[in-house]
Structure 1
C-alpha cells in the first residue's frame, strides 16, 4: 500500500466504515423491505460518489496515475489490462443480480453456512495468480552475477504468486473456521419448507459474482484518468444499478397489489426506516468510495483481504474472551483459529509486498499479532477451569431468600392504619382511593397474604394519570364500537354485562360478573372495556407512554397540555377480500407488527435499533443481561424484550400476523395478559376450573419424565417463519428432529480432587436428548390435558403442515409427570400453568407474557424458568433429573446425580404458594383493588379524591 498520508486516510475510512457496518448490520429495519432498501442505498451511494467528485482535488490520487511521469513512461506495473466496452453494463447487471441473491439467502438464512464469504480474497488472489505479470526490475545497481542462491530462493518464495495464493487460502480458511465456533440458534432449517443445498449454492454463487464485480470495477476505474472521473464513473454505475433494482421493486409491488400488505400509516415506522436508510447509506457510501480509491492505487485484493482479516481477528478475540463459558467451552479451537489467521495474514503481507497495513508498519503488526496470541494463551489457561458449584444451586438459594423478602414487603400492613401509611409511602404521598377501607376489610376476610404490593396495577394505570378523564372516556367510546370487546358496567352497586354473540366470550364475561358481584356495591359507577381476544391490542410508542407516565408521576397530577388530547384516529388494515365476504377482517402483518414493537422500546435500547434478522446464530448479547452463565437468572428483566431483539423472531406472537385491530393510542382496554411492549391493563380472566381442588398424585409417585404437549387445535396460523422459528415448533424440533450437525452446550459433572465439579461441553443434540426423558410434541386432540377426547381429523392446511413437519405424539396425562414443560401459545401464555402449579409437579415455564399473578411468582422457587431460546434446556433438566446411569454423553458415562430434593422442594413451594396467594379469592382481591383504583382515575375530581382515616 502507498505510504502517503492521503492513502492512509483512505484506508482508515475504509476500515472504520467496514467495522461499523459489521457491528450494526445485524439489526436493521432495512431488511424488512429488501428491494426498496437496496435501491435507496445504491442511489445514496451513487449520489455521494458524484458529490465527492466535486471535492476530488482534496482526495488521494487527485492527479490520476496517467498524469504521473512513471505512467507515461510505461513503468507503472499495477495498471490492469484495458477494460472491454461491455464491462460497465455487465457490472450493473451483476450488482442487481447479486442483490437478488442476498435477498434469497436472507429469506432462508438459517440454512446458510457461516463464513463462505471469507473465500472472496481467495478468488481475487486466484485471479491475480492466473493474470500475473512479472514487473520489470529497475535498479541503478549492476547485477550481481554471483548472488547467494539461498537469498534468491527466499526472494522468489516471498514474491511468488503461489505464495500469495497459499497465504490467502490460509487466513481465509481460518476465518471460515470461525463459523464452527459460533453457537447456532434453535431456529432450524426445515426439510419440508426450506432448501438448504440451494441456499448454500446461492451463497457460493454470490461470492463468485462479488469477485467478478470487483475485478471488472477495478479495471474500469483504474483506467479512468483522474479521481474525479473515477468517482463519476462509480456514481453512474451505482445510480444505474439502483434504477435496475427499483424496477424489480416496482414489479413486486404491482404483482402483490392484491395481497394483504400493510399500507396503514402507523406512527413512527417511516421515520425509523428513513433514519436507518440515511445512516446506513452514509456508511455504505464511505465504504464504497474508500474501497475504490484504495484499490485504484493497488488492487482489489488488498482492501478485501484486510476486511476479511479484521472480521476474523474480531471474532477470534471475542471467542478467546469467552473461553470457559457455555459459548466456548474449550480453548483449543479458538487459539488454533487465531493462530491460523495471524500466520496466514503475515505471510500474505510479505507475498503482496505490503509494508504498511492501514496505519501500521508490517513489523509492528507482526509484533502485535504475536503478542495477541501469547496473551490469548494466558487468558485461556486462566479462564479454562472447572466450575466449583453448579449455578442452579446458587439460583435456588438466592431466590429462596428473595421469596421471603418479597412476602415481607407484600404483607407489612396488619391494620388499616398501617395499610394507609404503606400505600402513601409507595405512591409518593397519594392517598388511597375511596372505599380503601372496604377493600382492606375484604382482603383480610379472604385471608389474602398480599396486602401492600400491587406493582402491576400501579404500572398499568400510571400513564392514564397523564390523560384527562374526558380523554379516557373518549377512548372507551372508541373501544365500544370495535369487535371482540366485552363491556362490564357497574351502576348503583350492581354489575352487568353486554351480550356478545360468541358463546365462549359470554362465558368469560359471566365469570367476571361472578367475580365482581360480591364487592360491586363498594365500587364507583363505571364501564370497562374488556379485550375478548387472547392477544393484547394497545401498542403505544415509547415516546408517548413516557410523556404520559412522566405527567402521571407528578405529585400534583398536572395534566399534559391540550396538544396531546387530539390524536390521529386509528385506522385498521383491511384484508383484500371478495366483495361478497362481509365483514372485512382486520390485519397487521408480522413484519409491521415487529416494527411497531420496536417503537415501543426506549431510544438507545437494542430492539429500538431494529429486529435482529440473523436468525441462524445465537445472540449471546441478547441473553447476557438476564442470565447467569447459561441459566435464566433475572425473570423481570427477561420479560422486557427491548434488550433482546432476537426474541422477535423466536416466538409465534411475533412471527404470525396480528389478526385484529391494533392501536397506537393509549386506550382503556383490559386484557388477560400482555408482553411488556403493550399498554393494555391486565385483568384476572381465568377459567374457574384452574382453581378447582383436586387430589393430585404425590411428587414421588409421578413419572420421572419431562412432558410437553400441545393440541394441534391451539396452533393457530402457521407462517413459513413461525414454522421454523415459533417457540413450540423449535422445541418439538430440538427434542425430536435434531439433525446430526446440531449441537448444544451442556454443563456436565467431572471428578476432580475427589469432588464433583462441572464444566461446559459441546454435545451433539441427539446425544444430549438420549439420556434425558423428554416427551414433547403435538397431539391431535382438542386439549392436551383432556385424555377423554379422541383424536380429531387433521384437515386444515395449518394442521397438515405441522403434522408433516413434526408428526403427532401419543396423548398423555400431562400432570401425572414430575416435570411439566409449559410453553406459550401463539397469542398468550400457557393456559394450564395454574393447574400445573398446584399439581405437585415442577412447572418448567417458558413464557414472555405477564399475567396478574406474575409478580407474585419467583423463578427457581415456585417454578423453573426456561429461556425460550432453549439453549439451557438440557443443562437445566440434567441438574434435576441427573445423568448418572442414564447412558453416555460425548462417549463417556456421566456422574451428575439427580437433585430430586430441589425438584421436590420447588414442586411443594409452588403448590403451597398457589394455595395461599393465587386462589380465586386472591383473584377477586386483585380485581377489587384494580377497579377501585380505576374508578378514581376516570373521575373528574380525581385530584381531590382519596380515602382518609377518621380523626
Structure 2
C-alpha cells in the first residue's frame, strides 16, 4: 500500500473518529434534554428548523468545500438509476437544484417518507402516554432487514474493484432481535409512569404503537437509502446537494402543512405565539439535531447504516440509564434476577452486534484487524462497561426501604408546637401585643370585638392567622380607591360569575346580580357574616361563584405590589395615635350595580379572559414564577414519564414531606398536563390584574383571597356521627366514589386528569391481582417500586381497593364521553356505577380525597370521621395552616407515585397503629378547630383586615388598648 493511500486512509479514519465523537455528544445532549425541551413538544416546528439548517449546511458544504460541478456533471441524482434499477417505474433523474426540473420518483418517495415520519412523530407526541417505551432499540434490526432485502451487492467509493457483500447476515438480524427485546425490557422496567390513561376500546390512541413502528421503519429506510447514496461511486458534491435539496424541500412542505392547519384558532395560537423558552429550545436543539444528522450522514460514507443506527440508539439508551441511576431507579430494576439478566444482555448484545458487523470496505479494507478474534474485543469492552455501570449503580443507588415513620414523629411535634403558639394569648392585651410582634402593625379596629367573639366560641386559635396576612399582603400595595373601583367593576359584570355582598351600617345584603343557580352560596355567606356584621365597616365584597380560581398576577408585578405593601405597613407600624374605621370613603363605594337592568348581563369585562377547556399552565402559571424557576427554564412535555426531579423538593424518601411546597407549581413543570384545572378547566375566566376576588379555594400560584367555603358552612356534605363505626369494625379498604369533575374532557385531556389516573391505577391493580398476573401489571405500569411496595399488602387480601366513578360522564364532548365510559365501565353501553349513600364511606378505614374542578368539599367530613383521610390536591383552602399533614391526614403527591407505598405502610404494615392514631387525632382536632364557629372566627378577622385595606385612611387605622 503506497504512502499516499495510507495517509488518505489515516485522514479518513481521523475524520470518522471525530464524526463519531460529534454524533455521540450531540445525541447525548439531545437525550439528556428529551423530556425537558419545549422543542420536542412541537414536532413540526422542530422538524422544520432542523431540516432547514441541515439542508442549508449541506448546500454550503458542497458549494464552498467540495465545489460546484460542471453543468454536464451536475445531475443531482446520478446514482438514482442504481438505486431504482430494480424498480423501472421509479426511474428518473433530478437535475441540478437551481434548475426547476421535475423531481424523480425516488426523490418524491424520500420527501414523502420524511414528511410522513414527521406527521407520525407529531401524533406520537400528542398521545405519548399510549406509546411503548424502548421501541427505538429495534432500529438495528430494521436496518439489518433493509440490508438483507437489498438484492444488490454494495460497492463503496474507491473500492469498486472489491467484491461487495451484504454487511449483515440472518444471524445478525437474530442477534439484533434479541438485543432489541432485552433493551426494550430494560427501558420499560426503568420507566416511571404518571398513570396517564390510554383509553380502552377502538380509538386512535390505540394505534400509537403502530405509528411508532412505522416511524421507526421510515427511519431505517431513510438511513439505508442515504447510506447507499453516500457509499456510491458518484461525485459527493452532487450527493450533498441532493440531500440538501431533499431536506429544505421537506421543511417547506412541513411549513405548508403547519400553515394550513392554522385555520383552527387553537393551532394558530400554538404555531405562532411561541414563548421565549420555546424559541430558545427550538434554536439550540435544532442545531444539535442538525449536527447529529450531518455527522451521521458523514459516517454513512464510511460505515454501514446499521452500525451508525446501533451507535445512535446505544448512546441514547446509555444516557437514559445514567439518568435512572441518578434517581435510584436502576438499583430497583437490577436488584431482580430478570432485570439483571436483561441489563447484561443489553450491554453484551451491543458488543456482539458490533463484532458481527462487517466494516465498510471504503473505510476499512480487509485486514487481520477484522478477524473474529479481534472483533471479540467489542464484547469484552461492553462487558467491562456493564460491570462499571453496575458498580456506579450500587454506590449511588438508594438503600433500604423508605417508611414515613420519621415524618409522622416530626409532624406530631410540629403540630403540637403550632397549636401551642396559635393559642399563646390568653387576654386581649397579650393578643394585641402578640399581633404587633408577629405582623409588625397594630390589629385592625374592632379587634376587641373579634377577640370577644373568638373566645366566646372557645376558638383554639387566637394568634396564628398567617394565611390571612399572606393573602392580603399584595393588596396593601394597591390604593384603597383602586381596590374599591375594581370591586365595583366586577360586580357590575355578572357575566364574570362573581356575586356580591354589600355591608351597610351593620346589615348584609346580597347583590341582585347573582344567578339563581348560585344564590345559595351568597345566602350561606350572608348567614356566616351576620352575627358580627355590626362591627364591620361599610364595604362591598366580590365572591367567585365558579370552582376555578381567577386572579393570576405575573411575578414581577406581584413583587412590586409586595414591596409597596411592606412600605405602607411599615408606616402604619410606626403610628401611635390610631383611628377607627372611616364612615365614608372618597370616592364612595359605587351603587350602580344594585339597580342595574337585565342588559348588564350581556356586558363583558376587558380585564378577564375566557379560556375554558384550554391549557392554562404556560400563560397563567409560569408567569407567576421567578425567572430562574423550573417552569421558566424547561417544559416537561411527556405526559407519561414521571419527573422525579420535579417532585423532589417536597418529597422525602418517596413520601410527601412538605405540603406547602407541594402546592407551589413553580418547580413542577410536569404538572402542566396532569391536573384537569391546568390542562382543561371547565369554567375559566381569569385576569392578570389584581382584582379583589374572594374564592373558596385556589391554586397556590393564584392571588384569590381565601375564605371559609359556603359548601361546608351550609352542610352540603355532612358527617353523621351516628352512622360511623369504630376503627376495629371498619373494612381495611381504600375507598373512593365520585365524578370525573376535574376539567372538561375534550381531545383526550381526561386521560391525564387526577381523578381518572387514580381510578385507573386502582382498576389495574385490582384486575391484575384478581387474574394473578403480576408480570402483566409490572409491564403495563412500568413501575416496579410502586407495585412491589403495594404487592405485599394487596395480594394478601388484607387491604382491599374499593374505587370507582359513579354515574354518567358529563363534562366532556361526545367522543371523550364515550371513551371515558368504555374505559371505566367496560363498554359504551354498560350501565354506570350507581351513586352510594355518602354515609357508607365510614365503613372503610382509608378514605381518599382528590381535587375536582377545585377543592373537594368532602375532606372536612372525612376529617371529622373515625376513618383516615388521604389527600391529593393542588387547591388550597382557608384551613391549610391549621390542619397538618401526617398528624391529621395523609398527604399524597398528585402524581400518585406514593399512593400504594403509603397504603402498604398504613394498611397492614408497621404503620397500622399510626393510621388509627392519625385518624383519631384528625377527628379530635376537627371537632375543636374546624367547626362552623371557627369558620366565622376566621371570616370575622378576614373582613376586619379587609375593611382596613380598602379604607382611605388605612395607614392610621388600628386598635389601641
Fold in common (TM above 0.5):
yes
Change (3 A) 1:800 1:285: closer
Counterpart selection for 2:896 from 856, 870, 887: 870
Counterpart selection for 1:665 from 670, 683, 689: 689
Q: Take 1:313 and 1:332, find their aligned partners in 2: how far apart are those partners?
A: 20
Q: Take 1:336 and 1:554, find their aligned partners in 2: how far apart are those partners?
A: 65
1:719 aligns to 2:746 (yes or no): yes
Q: Take 1:544 and 1:293, find their aligned partners in 2: how far apart are those partners?
A: 51
Residue of structure 2 equivalent to 1:644: 668
Q: Take 2:652 and 2:306, find their aligned partners in 1: how far apart are those partners?
A: 43
**Cα deviation, residue 668, structure 1:** 1.5
Residue of structure 1 equivalent to 2:921: 909
Counterpart selection for 2:283 from 272, 278, 283: 278
Matches within 5 A, 1:393-432: 393-427=405-439, 429-432=440-443
1:346 aligns to 2:373 (yes or no): no
Counterpart selection for 1:524 from 516, 525, 537: 537
Residue of structure 2 equivalent to 1:742: 777
Change (3 A) 1:138 1:9: closer
Residue of structure 2 equivalent to 1:918: 930
Q: Take 2:47 and 2:858, find their aligned partners in 1: how far apart are those partners?
A: 49
Q: Take 1:948 and 1:195, find their aligned partners in 2: how far apart are those partners?
A: 66
1:125 aligns to 2:183 (yes or no): no
Q: Take 2:727 and 2:855, find their aligned partners in 1: how far apart are those partners?
A: 28
Change (3 A) 1:419 1:830: same
Matches within 5 A, 1:131-146: 133=153
Change (3 A) 1:65 1:795: closer
Tell me, yes or no, if the aligned pair for 1:39 and 1:242 is still in contact at 8 Å: no
Change (3 A) 1:393 1:766: closer
Q: Take 1:810 and 1:118, find their aligned partners in 2: how far apart are those partners?
A: 47
Residue of structure 2 equivalent to 1:236: 245
**Cα deviation, residue 415, structure 1:** 3.8
Change (3 A) 1:936 1:373: same
**Cα deviation, residue 508, structure 1:** 1.3
1:449 aligns to 2:460 (yes or no): yes
Residue of structure 2 equivalent to 1:785: none
Counterpart selection for 1:779 from 806, 826, 844: 806
For structure 1, list consecutive stretches of 5 or more residues without a partner in the other structure.
68-78, 140-155, 560-580, 749-758, 783-791, 883-895
Change (3 A) 1:544 1:745: same
Change (3 A) 1:413 1:527: same
Q: Take 1:769 and 1:262, find their aligned partners in 2: how far apart are those partners?
A: 50
**Cα deviation, residue 498, structure 1:** 0.3
Residue of structure 1 equivalent to 2:853: 827
Q: Secondary structure of the equivalent of 1:447?
A: coil
Tell me, yes or no, if the aligned pair for 2:51 and 2:247 is still in contact at 8 Å: yes
Tell me, yes or no, if the aligned pair for 1:697 and 1:816 is still in contact at 8 Å: yes
1:592 aligns to 2:615 (yes or no): yes
Residue of structure 2 equivalent to 1:569: none
Cα deviation, 1:43-90, whole Å, max 9, x if unaligned, reads 4641464257547799xxx458999xxxxxxxxxxx999997333222
Residue of structure 2 equivalent to 1:879: 905
TM-score norm. by structure 2 comes to 0.78
Cα deviation, 1:480-521, whole Å, max 9, x if unaligned, reads 214211112233343322024433422211221222223333
Q: Secondary structure of the equivalent of 2:919?
A: helix
Change (3 A) 1:583 1:124: farther
Q: Take 2:792 and 2:635, find their aligned partners in 1: how far apart are those partners?
A: 28
Tell me, yes or no, if the aligned pair for 1:707 and 1:775 is still in contact at 8 Å: yes
**Cα deviation, residue 851, structure 1:** 0.4
Tell me, yes or no, if the aligned pair for 1:699 and 1:818 is still in contact at 8 Å: no
Change (3 A) 1:265 1:251: closer
**Cα deviation, residue 456, structure 1:** 2.2
Residue of structure 2 equivalent to 1:855: 881
Tell me, yes or no, if the aligned pair for 1:746 and 1:763 is still in contact at 8 Å: no
TM-score norm. by structure 1 comes to 0.78
1:469 aligns to 2:480 (yes or no): yes
Residue of structure 1 equivalent to 2:188: 180
**Coordinate RMSD, CA, aligned:** 4.6
Cα deviation, 1:686-740, whole Å, max 9, x if unaligned, reads 3332678844534336431435444559577433534432222223222235565
Counterpart selection for 2:316 from 306, 311, 315: 311
Tell me, yes or no, if the aligned pair for 1:316 and 1:338 is still in contact at 8 Å: no
Change (3 A) 1:591 1:307: farther
Tell me, yes or no, if the aligned pair for 1:652 and 1:726 is still in contact at 8 Å: yes
Counterpart selection for 2:111 from 67, 80, 92: 92
Change (3 A) 1:713 1:380: closer
Whose helix fraction is larger, Structure 1's or Structure 2's? 2
Matches within 5 A, 1:580-729: 587-588=610-611, 590-596=613-619, 597-609=621-633, 611-686=635-710, 687-689=713-715, 694-695=721-722, 697-700=724-727, 702-706=729-733, 708-712=735-739, 717-729=744-756
Change (3 A) 1:385 1:6: closer
**Cα deviation, residue 556, structure 1:** 6.7
Q: Take 2:331 and 2:535, find their aligned partners in 1: how far apart are those partners?
A: 56
Between 316-325 and 668-677, the greater mean CA deviation after superposition: 316-325
Change (3 A) 1:362 1:435: farther
**Cα deviation, residue 169, structure 1:** 4.7
Tell me, yes or no, if the aligned pair for 1:14 and 1:291 is still in contact at 8 Å: yes
Counterpart selection for 1:478 from 489, 513, 536: 489
Q: Secondary structure of the equivalent of 1:537?
A: coil
Tell me, yes or no, if the aligned pair for 1:648 and 1:655 is still in contact at 8 Å: yes
Q: Secondary structure of the equivalent of 1:828?
A: coil
Change (3 A) 1:318 1:336: farther
**Cα deviation, residue 949, structure 1:** 3.9
Between 679-688 and 368-377, the greater mean CA deviation after superposition: 368-377
Tell me, yes or no, if the aligned pair for 2:483 and 2:950 is still in contact at 8 Å: yes
For structure 2, list consecutive stretches of 5 or more residues without a partner in the other structure.
1-9, 71-81, 86-90, 94-104, 365-373, 573-600, 769-775, 826-831
Tell me, yes or no, if the aligned pair for 2:697 and 2:876 is still in contact at 8 Å: yes
Residue of structure 2 equivalent to 1:761: 788
Q: Take 1:650 and 1:137, find their aligned partners in 2: how far apart are those partners?
A: 53
Cα deviation, 1:154-206, whole Å, max 9, x if unaligned, reads xx999975676566555544432223312333222221363565322221111
Residue of structure 2 equivalent to 1:537: 550
Change (3 A) 1:452 1:65: farther
Tell me, yes or no, if the aligned pair for 2:746 and 2:813 is still in contact at 8 Å: no
Tell me, yes or no, if the aligned pair for 2:866 and 2:923 is still in contact at 8 Å: yes
Residue of structure 2 equivalent to 1:571: none
Tell me, yes or no, if the aligned pair for 2:736 and 2:803 is still in contact at 8 Å: yes
Q: Secondary structure of the equivalent of 2:803?
A: strand
Tell me, yes or no, if the aligned pair for 1:123 and 1:208 is still in contact at 8 Å: yes
Tell me, yes or no, if the aligned pair for 1:456 and 1:855 is still in contact at 8 Å: yes
Q: Take 1:713 and 1:113, find their aligned partners in 2: how far apart are those partners?
A: 27
Q: Secondary structure of the equivalent of 1:854?
A: coil
Change (3 A) 1:224 1:287: farther
Residue of structure 2 equivalent to 1:574: none
Q: Take 1:305 and 1:351, find their aligned partners in 2: how far apart are those partners?
A: 12
Q: Take 2:329 and 2:728, find their aligned partners in 1: how far apart are those partners?
A: 39
Between 540-549 and 92-101, the greater mean CA deviation after superposition: 540-549
1:510 aligns to 2:534 (yes or no): no
Change (3 A) 1:417 1:482: same
Tell me, yes or no, if the aligned pair for 1:46 and 1:234 is still in contact at 8 Å: no
**Cα deviation, residue 542, structure 1:** 3.2
Residue of structure 2 equivalent to 1:928: 940
Counterpart selection for 2:833 from 790, 799, 808: 808
Residue of structure 1 equivalent to 2:510: 497
Change (3 A) 1:13 1:929: farther
Q: Secondary structure of the equivalent of 1:90?
A: helix
Tell me, yes or no, if the aligned pair for 1:391 and 1:628 is still in contact at 8 Å: no
Change (3 A) 1:745 1:343: closer
Q: Secondary structure of the equivalent of 2:788?
A: strand
Counterpart selection for 2:299 from 294, 297, 302: 294
Cα deviation, 1:202-259, whole Å, max 9, x if unaligned, reads 21111111111222234445669888766654443223212222333343333x46xx
